Every structure is written in structure tokens, then in C-alpha cells.
Structure 1
Amino acid sequence: MKRIKVLIADDETIVRRGLKMAVDWSAYNMEVVADVPNGERGWEEFVQHEPEVVITDIVMPVVNGIEFVKKIKQHAPKTKVLLLSCHRDFEYAQEGIKLGVSGYLLKTSFHDEELDQYLRAFQKELMIHREAEGIEQQKFLFYEDFFQWLCGFQNQFQEVLVDLFRNEWKWMNDGYYACFIRSESRLHLILQDIDQKIPNPHVKILCGKEQCFLFLNENYKEMMEQMFMDVKSTYEELYWITSGELFSIEQWIDSVKSMKQFAELEIKYKVTINNWPKTIKEAILYTMNHLSEPIVVSEVAEMVGLSRSHFSMLFKKIIGESFHSFTERRKLELAMQMLQTTSLTIQEVAEHIGISNSKYFSKWFKKCTGTTPSEYREKQCGTLYKTN
């Protein structure tokens, strides 16, 4: 297990050496990564090592302990800081408390038990924090793998899916319902309501900021539908589509992909997709599943059994735009989704919508949106994804 890094700052060499040598740091899963004589050196070492625990004297030359702590808390507010001082003046302690320090010890009178209590408390809090960060990171990676897989990328997601069906999602083998939910501003409230009203087991998989897949026991389908109807009656901006009853991984995969495609089309065109002519529905679903390949209108028309001219006329009449325009728009929307929700490189995003040259892709993207792919990603995600 990764050790907790500790930095010691004190202008008295004997104090630094004493703390470093006398304390059994390994007992707390800790290691001293640096010991320094003042706050200036302390800050240099802090930036280099990023310790999670800092033990510092208050009165030191060049930069004192209080100024050192101010910098630490501005840079990394969750750092555990323990103040040392020869002074009994509680003004030091009060100032430290205002800065958010975790404790205060008198060098001349503290007992080993006091330091032990602090170090054990730090160890417990930091390990809980690490576990929470690890869980969040795992969720983030899972969501990213899921979204990439949903967009058609070959990755390890289906292997993960098999493992889930054998373990955490084993209950799905006895029957489950799948649901795709979209709400531009109330999704988090809807998901909170689901957690409160629908007992476990159920699974939520976020897909961007406004969309989520929900999988639940068949016994709660009617309850879920009623919840959505209640929300819809007072707040119109809610869309959902269900699929089930399902029993297998294969059905899970088919339902997720088809629900996502149908939902995107129905939301975009404000129609029920089943009302479209079969030829148009087949053409659109084929297009959405082959965006990484060259799509030729004459070949699609032949596939659905129509001449090119008849197909083009019918498509524009039903959809309201040309087939070429629809394909370009869908590619752009998919590229924007991938830039916003994955860490794929610009080249990989380009290839996934059938463009092999990243420079051409960037030029096309800017023509369509007014910004380059990198600028769009930066605006949407900040520095979360910085890829070329």
C-alpha cells in the first residue's frame, strides 16, 4: 500500500532528527520524504513531494510556520498540518485553527501519546479519503469505458460486463428491466428519488450530464413508470424509454444500444420512431451504426430497396433534411459527445467518425462549430482531458 508522505519543518536540527528517527513512521503507513529548516525550503519540498501530512514549527527564519501553512492550505486544503511551538501563547494556536490546521503541540511538553493520537487520526482519515478517491476513479473509468463502447470502440468493457453479470449484477440473470432517462436539468433529482423509493438491487450508469441508463428488478417497473409520469405531469422536460423483460448479457447489450439510438432520434425529431417508414428507419439505424465508415447515399438507398432519387426525396420529406446533412450532423454530434465525455485523442475521435486526417477533422469541426476540437474540449471540460 502506498505510504502517506510526511514533511517536517523546524529550524532546530535536533528536533527534526528526533522526530524523524524516534517515531516509527511505518506503524502509521507513513514515511518522511523531507525535513527542512524553514518555510521557504519547506514550500519547495512541498511542491516537489506533495506530502499529505506536514509537521511544522511556527517560529522559523526566512518564512515562518504560519506563512508556510497559508501557502499549503491555498494549494492543497486537505493536507493535514500539525503545528509545533515552544510558546504557550494560544494566539498561535488560534491563528492556526483559522487556517485549518489539524493540531497544535508544545515542543517542550508534549507526550508521545499526543503525537500518536494525531498520527493515527491522520492515517484513518487519509485512508478513507484515498478509498473514496479510488472508488470515484473506478466509476469515472467505468463510465468512460462504457461510453466509448457505446460509441462503437472496441475496449475491455464487455469483459467487465461479463464479470459484473457473474458477481454484482448476478440478480439480472433472473429478469430485469432497462430504462434510458434524459433530463436537461433535473436528472440528479430524479436519480435521488429513485434511490429513495426503489429498493436495491438497481444499477445506474451515467452517460454524460443529462442522460442515464437504469436497470432494475422487474417487480419495480410499474413503480418506476409511475414516478416518471408524476414528474412528467409537473415538469415536461423529461424523456424515458424502457426495454424488457430481459434475462441475459446479449439482451442487455442489444437493449442499451437500441434505446440510445431510438432516444436520440425521438428527442431530436420529436417523433415516435416506429411511425417512420421501415426504409427510413433502417437507413438511419444503419447510418448511426456505421459512422466510422464512408457512407454513400446510393449504397444506403440500394440496401433499403429504393433508387437513389426516390430515397433522397423520401428521406428529406420524412426527416426534414437531406441524407448528407443528417449524416454530417450526426457525425458532428458524436464527435462533440466524445470530446466532452472521453479522453480519446483528437485523432481517435476523428477516426471514429470516418475521418483519417486529424488536421482535416479540426478544420471541418471549426467550420461547423466555430471552435477547434481542442478549444471545444477545454471549454466543456477544463483541464480534465488534455489530449492531442
Structure 2
Amino acid sequence: MIRVLIVDDDKLVRKGLISSMPWQACGMEIVGEANNGENALKFLEQHHVELLITDLAMPVMSGIELIRIVRDQYPDMQIVVLSLHQDFEYIQEALRLGAIDYIAKTQLEQEQFEEVLGRIVKLMGRKAGAKGKAAQPEEEAFAANGSLHVYYALNPDEDPASASQQGIPAGAVEAEPGIWYANTQPQTKSQSKTATQASHPNIAHVHFHGLTGMDRKSILQLVRAYGRQDLFYHHAPSARPIQIDATEYNAQDKESGSPPLDPIKEKWGAADWIYTDAVFQAQLTELKSLKLPPVRLARIFYSLSDEWNRLYQTILAEPITIEDFFASWYSFEQWLLEVRERISRAAAKPLFSPEIQNSIVKAMSLAQQHISNPISSAEIAQMVNMSGSYFSQCFKQYVGQTYTDYVRDIRIERAKEYLRSTTRTIQWIAEQIGYSDEKYFSRLFREHAGILPSEYRQQSADSQRK
């Protein structure tokens, strides 16, 4: 029987899972339960567990923290994640850390229980089978020459088995889902004798050397830590594997706090990086040096893409979109370069010098940032170092409407967002976009949208329910 520990801070969820699912019929038995990660670790110290099923959002110690510790201390234990729909980013991180599957709490229905457990058993069997195929001499000769070739699956959404069929060399051993290793650098089926890298785009090849004197557990901990912390920033399409000296890597100071987000958003929300190469390169270098977790990086720029769409909606043919997941810094940088090219190309006006274009875009950005306390045309002209009359003339020719009309339009569009996404009062929304008089705001909104704010909110709610 597979020994199972369930971890969730909601007692009703734990009891519901234990009582409702056909554990014994699927060859499983519940040996314990815990209400947070800290208590789960205490239980694991005293009991043998083969499968850990854990929630992600918990007090005291989160599920992500628990998974990281379990991966290091109990590498053979299998992990399944309990989740809600809004935990998408954390699910991606959990899968990167080695979770084999996830169970969506909101989709669990009686007829699905046996199917869910059957899938988990099958995934556990697949990993056990892969381990069984590893030849004993290979295990004994683990990193025998002080080096190891490691192959990482970069995208947790892709089935590791699919990637291995195309990009993992024959003879490589699966250490855990998404990570394979080999003492030497064998050839893949699709490689020539001179090829040096797995051909599958989802596979990163890393050559660890300087491993002499390290035991197996320490090496695997190094492999996991590198995949979790630095692989994202090192991987790029190339003809050679990434070279990592274990001695140097272990000596690096990897402690990094969480940098404040406001300065990052402020810099990338401005227009300088679009029109000035030196500024773009400086901001890119600074951003990479922060080594933000990939999930956090994607989340920041998801928010920024919304701001860019608001700012450049009048000149972009199509809105800027962003992927839910970036496999590497290289793929993120390519996306950012494409965004920069799209905006600069759309904004290019032959009648204006780059300096004037930059000033107009700065004015648009400032108008967006000060939406709750709008800046007059004269004030903003001074802020972007232009005379008032020339600024008004250039702005209208560049944007296609006067500065006053532009500010009014973005304030109304922001009001629509609040009406769709919040239950705040009309007075509160009016104040957020710079109108102190609710009646004046409602009249202006109706002139622009054709209906009152309350009617717009009701129509939006009705359309979402359909």
C-alpha cells in the first residue's frame, strides 16, 4: 500500500478527502494529516510516507516551502499539489520543484475520485519504473569523474516523457520528474557525432564539474538548487552546454532579499527604455541582476503590460500580450525586445524628432500615473520641457486628439475597469479618477459611454454570467 500524508490548513478539506476518496481500492492508505508545513515535517521525521498531498496556501509554512524542504530531505517521496484556480502561478512553481500532479479542489466530484487517484498511481509507477531501469553500475559510478551532465525540462506544462523522447540522451537516468543525468555526454537520437546539446527546445543541458569529494545527496541538492535559482537566467539557445563549477557555485552568496517593486514598475512604466538604447540596456542589466523568481518576474510584467496597453492604446494596432510562463530569461528578453520594437515602430512619426516623440510619450505616461489628480496641459508641457502651445500642437498631431480629450478618455476607461472589477461605490470610483462630484462624473460618463455608470456595471455583470 502507498502510504499517504495529507496537508491542508482546512480541517473540512482534509476530512473530506480522507472519507470520500477510494484510497484502499487504489492501493493507498492515509497514515497521517497535518494542518501546515511545519507540522507535516514533524510527522515525516517519525513516520514513513511515500506520497505527500499538500495545499499551497497555508499559514506558518506554505506548501511551496514544504515542497522545497521535502525535495531536499526526502528525494524519493512523491508530491501532489492541492490547489484552487487562483493558485496558477504557484502550481507552476510546484511543478518546477518536482510535484508530479495537482488536484483542483473546485473540480473534485464523486465520479472523478477514482480517476484522480488512478492517475497519481500511474505517475508514481512511471517514476518507479524509470528508476528501476537504471543500471546498478551507473548508480555506483555516479559522478565518478567529478562531473555530471544534467538535463532539465524547462516548461513544467509539457509532459516530461514527451521531452525525453526527443531531447534526452539514451542512457540518461531520471533523478526526478523533469531532471535527468548522465556521467558522460551521450548522443541523442537526433544528434550528429559533433553535436553537443539536446535538440529539444524545452531541454536545458548543464555540465556540472568540480564535484569530486561531494556525496550523492549533496550533488543532487546542488542540481535541484541550480535548477530552481539560476538555470532560468543562464539558459539560452547555444551550441554548448552551460558549464557550472561546483566549487565556485557553492561559494557564491545566494542570499537575496525581495527588492521593492515600485521602482521597477516606475522605470519600466516610463518611456525612456523604448526610445533610448542605453537606458534600455541599463534597465535590462539591472533587472537581470535582481534574479527575481520567474513567477514573480512574469507577474510584474503582466501588470506592466496592462499599463502599456492603456498608455499606447491609441497607436497600437493590437494589444500587448504576455505569456503565463517564460522558460528562461532569454525567452523573456526576446518578448521584451519585441514589445519595444512594436511600440517604437507604432509610435514613429516622421514629422517629429526622437526627442519630441519621447516628450509626448512621457506626457502620456505621466497622465496615466496621475489619473486621480490630473495634470493640466500647461503643467505637463513644463514637465516634459516644451512650451505650452507647441506641446498642445505636437500632442494633437501625434496622438490624434487634444491632451484634454486624451485625459478625459483615459479617466473614463479607468472608471470602466473599476466598475467591471470592483463593487466600490460610484462616488469612490469618481474620486479615484479625479472627480469629486459624483453627479458630474455620472453625466460625463453617460456622454462618453451612452449609459450611466450603474447601468454599465449591471450590463458587465450580466455579460459575465452568460
- What TM-score do the two structures reach when normalised by structure 2? 0.32
- What TM-score do the two structures reach when normalised by structure 1? 0.38
Larger Rg over CA atoms = 1
